[in-house]
Amino acid sequence: MGFLPLLKKVILWENYKIYGEYKIKQFRLAI
């Protein structure tokens, strides 16, 4: 109990980090 919500948060956080890094790279290329 409580493990799946934690796992979902970790997955969301990882996706958020990857997406954020991708956006930063795009932004740098645009400059």
End-to-end CA distance of the chain: 47
pLDDT of residue 19: 96
Tell me, what's the pLDDT at 1?
61
Please write the tens of the pLDDT for every residue from 1-31. Answer: 688 999 999 999 999 999 999 999 999 988 7
Amino acid identity of residue 10, one-letter, is: V
- Looking from the CA of 11 toward its CB, the CA atoms found within 13 Å total 6
- CA angle, 29 as apex, 26 and 15 as ends, to 5°? 20
Enter the tokens of residue 18: 């990857």
